[in-house]
């Protein structure tokens, strides 16, 4: 695991393309209602990424296995390449990001993304509210989650 650098952008763009759609896979009308635009062409999400701090996990010469990016104490995105899920990469990225954040950590997640919500809950996050979000103009229900600064998590020390 290491800090993101600009030379990683092509690998990040490929990871985004391979994993972003899974965020919406349980939404009505998937995949037709949620066409995935490459990060390099999605100015809103690219601006959010560029304004964030990011960590990446390399996989030999085949690209990135995962990335997490955040602004202050708000996690903007976590992506793990589909073939590397279930190996603790998302958990490791989250844990490393916690070590760089102060106070309460927040994130938003598509409410139907049960696998992501399970991971976040296992890391001490609690759902605190729901709101309507949008992806490329398509409405989607988002769960807002929060983790206190001293939450205890199985296998982790308080941050």
What is the per-residue burial (b if ≥16 Cβ within 10 Å, else e) of 98-107?
beebeeebbb
**Structural domain span for residue 40:** 2-105
Tell me if 127 is assigned to some domain: no
Domain count of the chain?
1
pTM of full prediction above 0.85: yes
Tell me if 13 is assigned to some domain: yes
Angle separating helix axes 114-122 and 89-98, nearest 10 degrees: 50
pLDDT band, very low/low/confident/very high, at 150 (cuts 50, 70, 90): low
**Percentage of the chain exceeding pLDDT 90:** 59
Tell me if 66 is assigned to some domain: yes
Q: What is the CATH number of the domain that holds 56?
A: 3.40.630.30
Tell me if 130 is assigned to some domain: no
Tell me if 135 is assigned to some domain: no
| Overall average pLDDT of the 63-90 stretch | 93
Tell me if 111 is assigned to some domain: no
pLDDT of residue 117: 94
154 pLDDT exceeds 60? no
157 pLDDT exceeds 50? no
Tell me if 123 is assigned to some domain: no
Tell me if 96 is assigned to some domain: yes
pLDDT band, very low/low/confident/very high, at 67 (cuts 50, 70, 90): very high
pLDDT of residue 153: 53
Residue 66: CB partners within 8 Å, gap ≥ 6? 15, 56, 57, 78, 79, 80, 81, 84, 89, 90, 93
């Amino acid at each position: 695991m290491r800090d993101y650098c600009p030379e990683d952008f092509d690998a990040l763009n490929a990871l985004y393309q391979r994993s972003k759609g899974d965020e919406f896979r349980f939404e009505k009308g998937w995949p037709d209602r949620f066409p995935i635009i490459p990060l390099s062409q999605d100015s809103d999400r690219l601006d959010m990424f560029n304004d964030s701090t990011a960590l990446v996990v390399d996989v030999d010469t085949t690209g990135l296995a995962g990335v997490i990016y955040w602004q202050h104490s708000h996690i903007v995105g976590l992506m793990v390449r589909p073939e590397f899920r279930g190996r603790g990469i998302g958990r490791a990225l989250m844990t490393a990001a916690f070590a760089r954040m102060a106070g309460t950590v927040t994130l938003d997640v598509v409410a139907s993304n049960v696998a992501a919500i399970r991971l976040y809950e296992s890391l001490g996050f609690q759902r605190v509210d729901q709101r309507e979000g949008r992806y490329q103009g398509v409405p989607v229900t988002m769960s807002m989650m929060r983790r206190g600064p001293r939450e205890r998590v199985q296998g982790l020390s308080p941050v």
